[in-house]
């Protein structure tokens, strides 16, 4: 039996467009002799649909389009489609009114429907806000004809992630894979929309290998690909045989269609015609993050209707990396870099920004802001008289620049990209209504030290980021001789402390016990807490770690943290 895996990039809410994409992939697969085609979780509406699910009209449209799709599919192929279905017993049992479902479409009909059993509520997930959990008994497809005798267990994303032997604990009461294995099935399929984070595919494959060998059942994992708001989906769909060996792997960060076969004689998955298709994963963490961010920017632009982007170019490493990502995502001709020097800008910053423009082949403009600074000084002088020059005046420069960039964006329909990194966002080393302006924060989940390593990786074959950008001390250049380390510890120290606070949930005492100065630790924790109101007003940032300042970050603004 030939099985196709359609690794799709849906647009959230575009029910008709997504259905058309599923149909196109199904027609291609049918011509290749595929009998069963798998699509990702919620492939009909895209993941995550969030509060679109609260609109009855949206849910009704999905039901109608699912019926239409079933009627249009080729007769000789069965397709599993991710969709939403109503929970008709919701009012009787006090449950949510919807299921996160997989519909089995065959010969013009919706033949079966399967429901997701495990509903995650951690990090970016909030599924029990919308869905009721499915029951174990409703998870099997049987192919019984002259050619095939095959029973398939259907699981949806999180249903995979509760093996107590692999994790050392259970997060939910039931383990769907264990229960399916007891039913004597021949194959497990998992339809997922699993968001990307650094190193996640290696974790997935380790988990899938464990499951396949533990139950001695082959597994096909089908994942969504693409960027949806702050979330990036890497694809990397993969098939394992019952020995835990990879039979096939799809591309990372791109749509794909690939095939495997279930061989009746050995009751296992094999590569069609012994032609294995195993795409390689990115070699380094830097390559992986780069690919994710390029996809995130490209899809955010396309799905939000932007063809051109702009950003401020300071000659620093953050804006240099964002410009390089944007150039790769939408093409150099569609990127505008704006240089906005002030009297405090160093000559090398201007030269470095101009060198970057040349290296990337992007467009650029230079708008000096000294005149605007003078005007602000004149307007504010009655109120600021007899006060000392300080942060308020420094931040005016950033806000002038932010105003200019927003004016250009509004005038010409560009998407403004924010260039702040995670280290700055964590401690508030950024200016509201200034350098935080924008529609997308490209590297807001990338620590400063990782920004440097990505740029070094990018330069391994030729200079893209000017070398001087990599070696000069980082500076906001808002006053004479300013460098970041006037206000912050070295980034190697800052980033490790931030990692312990944000990702490892360590207490101040644990961080100090690791060898860090108590005064520095307490200062950084206070900065992280005080910056929460800024982060709440920041543009969406592309998520690449297990804990980003976005959908999954739910911290109070008004609070006092016990040190």
The conformation of residue 541, written as its DSSP 8-state character, comes to B
On the question of pLDDT at 148 being above 80, the answer is no
Kindly state whether residues 327 and 266 are assigned to the same domain. Answer: no
pLDDT digits (tens, 9 = 90+) for 14-37: 999 999 999 999 999 999 999 999
Residue 484: pLDDT band (50, 70, 90) is: low
Please say whether the dihedral angle defined by the alpha carbons of residues 365, 370, 371 and 375, taken in this order, is positive or negative.
Answer: positive
Mean pLDDT, range 156-183, rounded to an integer: 94
Local confidence band at 147 (pLDDT 50, 70, 90 cut-offs) = low
- Residues 6 or more apart whose Cβ sits within 8 Å of residue 96: 87, 90, 128, 129, 130, 131, 132
Q: Is residue 500 part of a domain?
A: no
Residues 24 and 89 in one domain: yes
DSSP string, 250-306: --BSS-EEEEEEEETTTTEEE-GGG--EEPPPPSSHHHHHHHHHHHHHHHHHHHHT-
Cβ-based neighbours of 14, under 8 Å, separated by 6 or more = 46
- 292: in domain: yes
Q: Hey, CA dihedral for 365, 370, 376, 378, is it positive or negative?
A: negative
> Is 504 a member of any domain?
no
**Is the torsion defined by CA of 466, 470, 473, 478 positive or negative?**
positive
CA distance 38 to 384: 65
Confidence class for position 142, pLDDT limits 50, 70, 90: confident
CATH number, domain of 138, equals 3.60.110.10
Final residue of a structural domain among 275, 308, 324 = 275
In a domain, 502, yes or no: no
Domain check: are 293 and 384 in the same one? yes
Report, as an integer, the average pLDDT of 498-527: 96
Across 222-236, 266-280, 386-400, the highest mean pLDDT is recorded for 222-236
Q: Are residues 121 and 193 in the same domain?
A: yes
The mean pLDDT value for 312-320 works out to 95
Domain match, 268 and 194 both: yes
Domain boundary among 227, 247, 275: 275
- pLDDT value at position 93? 76
Contacts of 218 (CB under 8 A, 6+ apart): 186, 187, 188, 212, 239, 240, 241, 242, 247, 262, 268, 269
Coil, helix or strand at residue 488: coil
Structural contact between residues 426 and 498, judged by C-beta atoms closer than 8 angstroms: yes
- Has residue 481 got a pLDDT over 70? no
User: Does the structure show a pLDDT above 60 at 146?
Assistant: no
pLDDT of residue 487: 75
For residues 400-414, give the mean pLDDT: 97
pLDDT at 140 over 80: no
What percentage of residues in the chain have a pLDDT greater than 70? 96
For residue 476, pLDDT beyond 80: no
Query: In terms of domains, do 348 and 449 share one?
Result: yes
Task: Give the mean model confidence (pLDDT) for residues 347-374.
Answer: 94
* Contacts of residue 34, Cβ cutoff 8 Å, sequence gap at least 6: 2, 3, 4, 77, 259
CB count in 10 Å sphere of residue 222: 29
Element (H, E) at 167: helix 164-167
Q: Quick one: which H or E segment has residue 233?
A: strand 231-234
Q: Are residues 19 and 109 in the same domain?
A: yes
Sign of CA dihedral 484, 489, 492, 496: negative
pLDDT confidence of residue 276? 75
CATH number at residue 416: 3.40.50.620
Among candidates 36, 49, 33, which has minimal Cα distance to 84?
Answer: 49
What's the mean pLDDT in 353-374? 96
The DSSP string of 52-94 is GGG-HHHHHHHHHHHHHHHHHS-TT-EEEEEEEEE-TTHHHHT
Q: What tens digit of pLDDT does each residue of 78-122 get?
A: 999 999 999 988 877 788 999 999 999 999 999 999 999 999 999
Residue 425 and residue 475 share a domain: yes
When mean pLDDT is compared over 329-343, 346-360, 479-493, the highest value belongs to 329-343
Residue 52 belongs to domain spanning? 2-275
At residue 346, does pLDDT exceed 80? Answer: no
pTM of the model: 0.95
Residues 242 and 301 in one domain: no
pLDDT exceeds cutoff 60 at 475: yes
pLDDT at 483 over 90: no
Same domain (yes/no): 23, 82:
yes
Q: Check whether 494 has a pLDDT greater than 60.
A: yes
Whole-number pLDDT of residue 344 = 84
Residue 479 has pLDDT above 80, yes or no: no
Total residues belonging to the chain: 563
Which among 69, 83, 74, 188 has a CA at the least distance from the CA of 140?
188
Q: Is residue 432 part of a domain?
A: yes
**Mean pLDDT over all residues of the chain?**
94
Total domains in the chain come to: 2
Q: How many CA atoms lie within 13 A of 337 on its CB side?
A: 34
- Give the per-residue pLDDT at 137: 62
Q: Which residues contact 153 (CB under 8 A, 6 or more apart)?
A: 139, 140, 177, 180, 183, 185, 187, 188, 189, 217
Tell which of 275, 299, 321 closes a domain. 275
Regarding whether 312 and 229 lie in a shared domain, the answer is: no
Please give the average per-residue pLDDT across 301-319, as a whole number: 97
Strand 440-441 to 36-38 pairing: unpaired
Question: Within this chain, do residues 313 and 259 fall inside the same structural domain, yes or no?
Answer: no
Cα 301 from Cα 13, distance rounded (Å): 16
pLDDT per position as a tens digit, 205-243: 999 999 999 999 999 999 999 999 999 999 999 999 999
Q: Which residues are catalytic?
A: 41, 116, 157
Give percent above pLDDT 90 in the chain: 88
């Amino acid at each position: 039996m030939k099985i196709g895996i359609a690794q799709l990039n849906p647009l959230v809410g575009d029910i008709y467009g997504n259905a058309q994409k599923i149909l196109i992939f199904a027609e291609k697969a049918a011509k290749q002799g595929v009998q069963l085609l798998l699509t990702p979780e919620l492939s009909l509406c895209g993941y995550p649909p969030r509060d679109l699910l609260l609109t009855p009209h949206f849910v009704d449209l999905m039901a109608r389009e699912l019926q239409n799709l079933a009627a249009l599919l080729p007769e000789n192929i069965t397709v599993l489609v991710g969709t939403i279905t109503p929970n008709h017993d919701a009012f009787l049992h006090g449950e949510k009114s919807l299921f996160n479902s997989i519909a089995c479409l065959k010969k013009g009909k919706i033949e079966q429907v399967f429901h997701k059993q495990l509903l995650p509520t951690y990090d970016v997930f909030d599924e029990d806000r919308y869905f009721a959990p499915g029951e174990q008994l409703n998870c099997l497809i049987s192919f019984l004809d002259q050619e095939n005798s095959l029973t398939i267990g259907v699981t949806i994303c999180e249903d995979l992630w509760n093996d107590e032997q692999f994790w050392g604990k259970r997060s939910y009461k039931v383990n769907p894979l264990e229960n399916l294995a007891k039913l004597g099935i021949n194959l497990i399929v998992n339809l997922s929309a699993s968001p990307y984070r650094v190193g996640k595919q290696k974790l997935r494959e380790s988990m899938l290998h464990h499951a396949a060998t533990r139950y001695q059942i082959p597994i096909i994992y089908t994942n969504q690909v693409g960027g949806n708001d702050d979330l990036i989906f890497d694809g990397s769909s993969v098939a394992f045989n019952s020995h835990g060996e990879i039979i096939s792997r799809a591309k990372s960060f791109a749509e794909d269609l690939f095939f495997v076969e279930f061989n009746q004689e050995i009751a296992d998955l094999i590569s069609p015609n012994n032609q294995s298709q195993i795409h390689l994963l990115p070699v380094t963490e830097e390559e992986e993050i780069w690919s994710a961010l390029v996809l995130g920017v490209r899809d955010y632009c396309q799905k939000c209707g932007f063809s051109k982007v702009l950003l401020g170019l300071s000659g620093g490493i953050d804006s240099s990396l964002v410009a390089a990502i944007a150039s790769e995502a939408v093409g150099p001709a569609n990127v505008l870099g704006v240089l906005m020097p002030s009297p405090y800008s160093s000559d090398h910053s201007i030269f470095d920004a101009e060198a970057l423009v040349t290296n990337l082949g992007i467009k650029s403009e230079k708008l000096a802001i000294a005149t605007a600074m003078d005007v602000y000084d004149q307007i504010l002088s009655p109120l600021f008289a007899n006060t000392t020059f300080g942060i308020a005046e420094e931040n005016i420069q950033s806000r002038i620049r932010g105003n200019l960039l927003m004016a250009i964006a509004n005038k010409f329909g560009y998407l403004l990209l924010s260039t702040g990194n995670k280290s700055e966002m964590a401690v508030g080393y950024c200016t509201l209504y200034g350098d935080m302006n924008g529609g997308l924060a490209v590297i807001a989940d990338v620590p400063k030290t990782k920004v440097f390593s990505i740029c070094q990786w990018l330069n391994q074959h030729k200079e893209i980021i000017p070398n001087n950008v990599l070696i000069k001390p980082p500076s906001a250049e808002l006053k004479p001789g300013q460098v970041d380390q006037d206000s912050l510890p070295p980034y190697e120290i800052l980033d490790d402390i931030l990692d312990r606070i944000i990702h490892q949930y360590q207490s101040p005492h644990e961080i100090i016990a690791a060898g860090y100065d108590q005064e520095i630790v307490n200062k950084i924790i206070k900065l992280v807490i005080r910056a929460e109101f800024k982060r709440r007003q920041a543009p969406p940032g592309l998520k690449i770690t297990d804990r980003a300042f976005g959908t999954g970050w739910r911290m109070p603004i008004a609070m006092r943290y016990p040190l």
